Every structure is written in structure tokens, then in C-alpha cells.
Amino acid sequence: MTTASPQFPAALPAYDPLARISAGDWLKKNLFGSVWQGLLTLITAAIFLRFAWFVLDWGVINAVWYTSDPDVCRAAAGACWAVIVEKHRPMLFGLYPYDEHWRLVLMMAIYLVTIVVSLMPRNWNLRLLVPLWVIAVVSIGVLMFGGVLGLRYVPTSEWGGLPLTMLLFTGTVLFGMPVAVLLALGRRSPLPVARGVSVVFIEALRGVPLITILFVAVNVFPLFLPAGVEVNKLLRITIGIAIFFACYQAEVIRGGLQAIPRGQYEAAASLSLTYWQTTRRIILPQALRICLPAITNHIIAAMKNTSFVIIIGLFDILTATTAVMQDPLWRKFYVEAYLFVAGVYLFFGYALSLYARKVEGWIASGRI
């Protein structure tokens, strides 16, 4: 008796996820899968190698690393990294009095230590962080302003460079995050008036460029205050950037709030928790964990946005570098100088996103 049995192809070799792929297979799969792909690879490789060779030739082989004579650089065929060595102080510290630059170096050290310590989960208790931040803020204030302990007084109008960028960025995040949370809660509030105020505030500020807000901070904000009351320009600008940051961040946090299932609110209500108890202990911890990647993106964006202060004449690292590049002796080597500034931003941005990825890992593994 013959029944037609379905014809199965011969069994495939078992798939082994740990099998090591040979170099030839890898090349075939990823670079030379077909004629067209191979051609594409060759053309891309040719262009890339040409570019890479140019960078190597210009940036390393023919580069001038150290000289105080711009003519040596002019004679060389490569990059003039010496411009950074020569001009690093005005670039990094702006208008701050030259003899007092050691104060800024010390300030940056204190700042970085404080931030690094505060970012480690094992240090997350108030008994350590509160004294740490009080000491850090006071010592940074003393170092930056001076006027006590025999230090020369330096007004905020002379602050500049990388320390200013750091202060603007930190101020933006520290002021902005609480405002963002409040705005997000307002937008999700059961009270129509709170909702209305938040929506109008968020949407109006998100619709305009940051520069107009900085113009308001510089030119209009003083008019809002009663006669005789003055707020420092640096502080006004920080608040301006912070509020702008908060409006974007509020929308991110609202996304996180919307992702919380209604059952969480109902469970909290059935335990007769109040609105603020529910928000603080049940909703926000979950919502902020959910939208952490987007929050990080906006924090990195806030760091980049501090560079907008060049338009209103604050001497952050970019303004300082642009000013240094007015020097007729060295202005030809602007590419090197701007690459250096770009490198500083890339470094801090990369560090922030690495840390954020770590935090996401901690959240996923239930550590925090």
C-alpha cells in the first residue's frame, strides 16, 4: 500500500547560536553578498580610506603639536594643534582674570567629584548628599566669586569658559527638572484650571525658539520687577534656559505618566492615599523610570543648548573660543580650535549617555 507521503527536505544542520563564524563567511555576509554589494563596499572603502588617510596625514603626521610661533604652523602642511596649547587658557576660562585661573581648575575638580559621587547609587542617601552639596556649593561659590579669605572679587560678568558652561548646564537641570515634573502633573491634573495653565505655558514656550526666551530673560525680565529690584544676568539666563528645558521635559514626563495603568491610581485610592502621596510614592517613581531614555536625551540637549548664550554675549566655552579666533596671528587655525570645543561637548555628551545606559541597566535588573 502506497500512500503519498509529503516530501520533507533533508533536515537542516542544527542552528548553533554559539558557533563562531569564519572570517570568510563574515565578509561574504556583511560586505560581499552580491556583485552590487561588493561594488558598493569597494567604493565606500575607497572614499573612506582616502578620507581617513587625509585625517591621519593632516591631523597626525604633518601636524604641529607644540610651538608658540604661528609662522611654524603656517609653514607646516598639517594641523596646528599648538593653537590649543597656546590658547587653551582663554578658551577654557574666558574673561576670568588670568592670575586667578587656578580657582577655576579647583572649582572644576570639586564640581566633577561632587557630580560623580552623586551619580553612584551606593551614595544615594541624604546624610551623605546634603552635606556634600552644601560644601560643594559653598566652596564653588567662594572660589568663583571670591571677596573673602583674601581672594579677589570676580563679578559674574567676568566668568567664562568651561566652568560657565558647567554652571549653566547644572543650573538648567537642577531648576528645570522640578518645574518639568510640576508642569507634567499639571497637564495631567483633574483640575481644569491647572490643566489649562500648564497646557498654555508648555505649548507657548515649545512653539518659540530658545533665543527669544533668552531675549526675554535679558531685555524684558528686568521690566517685570519693581523698581530697585535686580536679578543677576547670569541667573536670569539660567532660569530662561531652565524653563525652556522644563517645557520639553514636561512632555516627556507626561508620556511616562500616561503609561501608568489606571489600576495603580485605583489601588492607591483604595489605600486612601492622598493625591501627593500617590504621586510621590506610586506614580512618579514608575513614570520617571519608564521615560528615562527620553529624559536623558533632553538633558544632553540642554547641555548643547547652553551654547546659545553666545548670542546674548555670555562667555561660555564656545564664545570664548570664537573670541580667541579673532586673533589675526592664529585665526587661520580655527578648524583645530573648533574641533577641540566639539570634542569637549562630544566627551560630556558621551559620558552622559553612557551613564544613562548604565542606569537603564540598573532599572532593568531591579537594582534601583
Partner 1 sequence: MLDANPAYRQRPSRRMRDILYSESFRTAIYQIALAGAVGLLGLFLYQNVIENLQRQNIATGFGFLREISQFEIGETLIEYSSRDTYFRALVVGLLNTLKVSAAGIVLATLVGFCVGIARVSNNWLLQRIATGYVEIVRNIPVILQVIFWAAVIRNLPAPRQALDLWGTGFLSNRGLTVATPASDPAHLWMILAFVAGVALMVAGDRWAKRHREATGRHVDILWPGLALIVGLPLLVWLAFGAPHAISFPERKGFNFAGGSTVSPEFVALMTGISLYASGFIAEIVRAGIQATPKGQVEAARSIALRPRFIMRYVVLPQALRVIVPPLTSQYVSLIKNSSIAVVVGYPDLVNIGNTVMNQTGQAVEAIAVMMLVYLIVSLVTSTLMNLYNRLVAIKER
Chain contacts with partner 1 (rule: CB under 8 A): 30-31, 33, 37, 40-41, 44-45, 48, 190-194, 197, 204, 207-212, 215-216, 219-220, 222-227, 300, 304-305, 307-308, 310-311, 318, 322, 325, 332, 334-335, 338, 341-342, 345-346, 349-350
Distance CA 133, CA 119 (A): 12
Cβ(95)–Cβ(164) under 8 Å?
Answer: no
Grid coordinates representing 322? 570664537
Question: Given the complex with partner 1, which of 142 and 194 has the nearer CB atom?
Answer: 194
The minimum distance between CB 217 and partner 1, in angstroms, equals: 10
Question: Given the complex with partner 1, which of 140 and 341 has the nearer CB atom?
Answer: 341
Question: Given the complex with partner 1, which of 91 and 154 has the nearer CB atom?
Answer: 91
Neighbours of 232 (CB within 10 A): 11
The minimum distance between CB 63 and partner 1, in angstroms, equals: 18
Question: By C-alpha distance, which of 296, 293, 271 is closest to 282?
Answer: 271
How far are the Cα atoms of 88, 146, 318 from residue 101, in angstroms, in the given order?
12, 12, 18
Question: Given the complex with partner 1, which of 96 and 308 has the nearer CB atom?
Answer: 308
Rg, the chain, Cα only:
28
Question: Given the complex with partner 1, which of 150 and 192 has the nearer CB atom?
Answer: 192
The minimum distance between CB 192 and partner 1, in angstroms, equals: 7
The minimum distance between CB 95 and partner 1, in angstroms, equals: 19
- 3-class secondary-structure state, position 266: helix
The minimum distance between CB 207 and partner 1, in angstroms, equals: 4
Distance CA 18, CA 8 (A): 27
Question: Given the complex with partner 1, which of 1 and 227 has the nearer CB atom?
Answer: 227
Cβ(108)–Cβ(166) under 8 Å?
Answer: yes
**Widest CA span in the chain:** 109
Question: Given the complex with partner 1, which of 48 and 124 has the nearer CB atom?
Answer: 48
- What ranges in 259-367 are assigned the alpha helix state H? 262-270, 275-277, 284-290, 292-305, 317-324, 334-364
The minimum distance between CB 158 and partner 1, in angstroms, equals: 22
The minimum distance between CB 200 and partner 1, in angstroms, equals: 10
Question: By C-alpha distance, which of 366, 365, 359, 361 is closest to 120?
Answer: 359
Question: Given the complex with partner 1, which of 171 and 240 has the nearer CB atom?
Answer: 240
Cβ(253)–Cβ(291) under 8 Å?
Answer: yes
The minimum distance between CB 163 and partner 1, in angstroms, equals: 17
Grid coordinates representing 154? 570676580
The minimum distance between CB 340 and partner 1, in angstroms, equals: 11
Neighbours of 186 (CB within 10 A): 20
Question: Given the complex with partner 1, which of 19 and 191 has the nearer CB atom?
Answer: 191
How far are the Cα atoms of 67, 195, 273, 289 from residue 189, in angstroms, in the given order?
63, 6, 16, 20
Cβ(161)–Cβ(106) under 8 Å?
Answer: no
